[in-house]
Structure 1
Amino acid sequence: MRLLLTRPLADSQRMAETLAARGFDTLISPVIEIFPQHVMIPDKPYQAVLLTSANAVNALLASNLPDAIPIYCVGDAALARLDIGRYSNLQSAAGDVMNLIGLVRRELHAENGPILYLSAAVISRDIALDLGRDGFRADRYVVYNAKPVSALDEKVASALRLGAIDGVLLSSTRSARLFLEMVSRSNLTSVTSRLTAFCISGTAAKAANQVDWAKVVVAKQPTQESLLETLPDS
């Protein structure tokens, strides 16, 4: 089975290695490119750090924050990329931003100081606003920009035309929407009827269902691990 990976390049390359070990052939055509934003994180007595993406990890690692500071990640991908030897107070919200907000509300107290929130320039939900309604102060710093890629990789476009791809992995609602825009610009919308869409969440599946697919499969949990579990035996 040949799968198309649409995550940013470095993430797709890591996923390709994992899938190759399981016997899958893969092609990569990122729909988003990551551009780190170099910011100076101030020396404040933050009580915790919030990461909504693994792409924010490098900014955290470059900071001078104390090693014991609690770090709350939306998903396990960010957790896996942290230097476990340096940071030990780590928690994952299993890929659900509302779970992350719930964790903060249960475990932290507004009177204990501000929270550092490292994010992308474009976000689907502003956690700082949510927590602000509970009296928390969350300082948001944009540490990367995730910009849409303009066109499909030429090799991938050719493979789609030839029917040489069996399925596509869609790791976010935005990725699903951007993938459809890219196939439309390449006059390839009709090829989706031959593909299986493996979607990380119901909202990603809803975005993907703007076109016809051979099949749409939704992960049980909004995590990369759960997404990979939806794949059949190679």
Structure 2
Amino acid sequence: MAVLLTRPSPDNETSGEALRARGFEVLLAPMLRFEPVESADEPGVDYQAVIVSSANALRAVEATLAQSPLRKLPLFAVGEHTASVARDLGFAKVIVAKGDAGTLRDRVLESLRAKELKKKRPLLYLAGADLSRDLAGDLGQHGLEVVTQTTYRMVALAALPRAACDAFARDEVEAVLHYSRRSAAAFLEAVRNAGIEISALAVPQCCMSANVATVLHEAGAAQVKVAASTDENALFEALERALPSRLA
């Protein structure tokens, strides 16, 4: 029996290793594909900090960061995983939020109140093409100027890997892990296209947040578990709760 991991590459490899360390067999079935987007930088802009809500936003511009002055600026990262990627790419001062856009906004505003940021200097927001929250707009309401630069997109995949379809057909999938609303929606579309929706939704669906879980609830999944917080360890704990026989 295996856990189906829908997280996109390359992060799914690290997640898969962590799951195997917990004793799970893992089947990789990424439902989104990462694509960098060419973006026109604005030379000469005196940014005071960088905001990043996904590690992919940094990966997309990795080649241009080696000689970039941006690495000398404070960087606000949505969570520890993104923060780790930022540090690996040379950012020395990384401020970490608690895993979602709301806490990222709050962390930036906390620095504003502490006078570590100024209202008259812009911040650079490296972002994906599809945003679940208007972070720039939220911060703008507090007097901060935020320049959004789209660096990547995540493209939904229309089909599950053949191995995943076969595993569902043989009742060899014991749970599915979902990291975002878009990947969950792509998973649902893929299992419908493959004609395995009933068997795919019969197993526990473990979700990174209540927002992600809504997609599975609306599709009729009966066993939906939600992580206690928006981080991967909490998601893995939700998985273990969904499969109590493993803890016996």
TM-score, length-scaled by structure 2: 0.87
SS at match of 1:111: coil
- What are the within-5 Å matches in structure 2 for residues 1-234 of structure 1? 1-41=1-41, 42-59=43-60, 61=62, 62-63=64-65, 64-84=68-88, 86-108=90-112, 109-213=117-221, 215-232=223-240, 233=246
Query: What is the alpha-carbon root mean square deviation over aligned residues?
Result: 1.9
Distance (whole Å) between structure 2 residues aligned to residue 80 and residue 86 of structure 1: 10
* Alpha-carbon separation, structure 2, partners of 1:144 and 1:66: 18
Give, in whole Å, the separation in 2 of the partners of 1:102 and 1:182.
36
1:23 aligned counterpart, secondary structure: coil
How far residue 113 of structure 1 moved from its aligned partner, in angstroms, is 0.7
- Please tell me the residue identity of whatever aligns with 1:204: V
Q: CA deviation at 1:211?
A: 3.2
Quote the offset at 1:60 in angstroms.
5.2
> What's the % identity of the aligned pairs?
31
For the residue of structure 1 that corresponds to 2:214, the secondary structure is helix
Shift of 1:77: 1.7
Q: Which runs of 5+ in 2 are unaligned?
A: 241-245
Give the gaps of 5 or more residues in structure 1. none
1:145-180: CA deviation from partner (whole Å, max 9, x where unpaired): 111011111111111111110000000122222211
Supply the distance in 1 between the matched residues of 2:93 and 2:12 (Cα, whole angstroms).
28
Q: Distance in 2 between matches of 1:73 and 1:60?
A: 15
For 1:77-109, what per-residue CA distance to the aligned partner results, in whole angstroms no more than 9, with x for missing partners? 211222358323112211121111111112134
Query: Could you tell me the TM-score, scaled by structure 1's length?
Result: 0.92
**Bigger shift: residues 71-80 or 107-116:** 107-116
TM-aligned CA deviation for residue 114 of structure 1: 0.3
Distance 2:184 2:131 in 1: 16
Amino acid corresponding to residue 45 of structure 1 in structure 2: D
Shift of 1:186: 1.2
Q: How many residues align?
A: 234
Distance in 2, matches of 1:204 and 1:118, equals: 23
Instruction: Tell me the secondary structure at the aligned position of residue 87 of structure 2.
Output: coil
